[in-house]
Amino acid sequence: MAADTESKLQQVHKHIRAFPDFPKKGIMFRDICPILKDPAALTAVIDLFEDHVRKNHLQVDLIVGLDARGFLFGPLLAQRLDVGFVLVRKKGKLPGNTVTVEYDLEYGKAEAEIQEDAVAPGQTILLIDDLLATGGTLYAACELMKKQQAEVLGCMVVIELKELNGRDKLKPHNVFSLVQY
């Protein structure tokens, strides 16, 4: 089983492209588009997430995906786990009553929101996104879950940029990442 896991991790890693100086000089952008283009690589990502969840979380009610790339992996994982999927969006993108939280970005502030009835008090959730950098967006999603009185079991990402210490911002929540740079 460990060899199979390592093989899948290698497949994911080889499908991540690096673009230096994007979107600005000094940034090394990690592109997940090749993963999405290759069915075997995408399956490997979902297999690895599913394996992690089944080994570490006995009861999951919902997968909560972050705008927008969490929407790519979250529904596939939710379907595998036979649980629902919920969206955390940028402010103004969801109809109906919403719950909002403001958070800091490197260059200013932003707001994230969830539909008021998307998560019930006491539900157990896992957050999913493509990338953990400084942790601001995932932290905001954790704060939204707190407002909804949901229990955050952990955060899952395809890529973690370790030098930016985003994991520290998310404590006490566990972070599971497939690939670290």
Give the Cα separation of 129 and 110 in Å (integer): 17
Positions marked catalytic: 69, 106
Question: Quick check: 102 and 109 in contact, CB under 8 A?
Answer: yes
Give the Cα separation of 178 and 7 in Å (integer): 12
Q: Which amino acid is at 106?
A: E
Give the Cα separation of 96 and 113 in Å (integer): 11
Q: Which of 90, 86, 72 is closest to 150 using CA atoms? A: 86
Question: Quick check: 128 and 74 in contact, CB under 8 A?
Answer: yes
In degrees and rounded to multiples of 5, residue 93 shows phi and psi of -105, -10
Class of residue 130 by CB neighbours under 10 A (exposed 0-12, middle 13-18, buried 19+): buried
- 36 Cβ contact list (under 8 Å, min separation 6): 42, 72
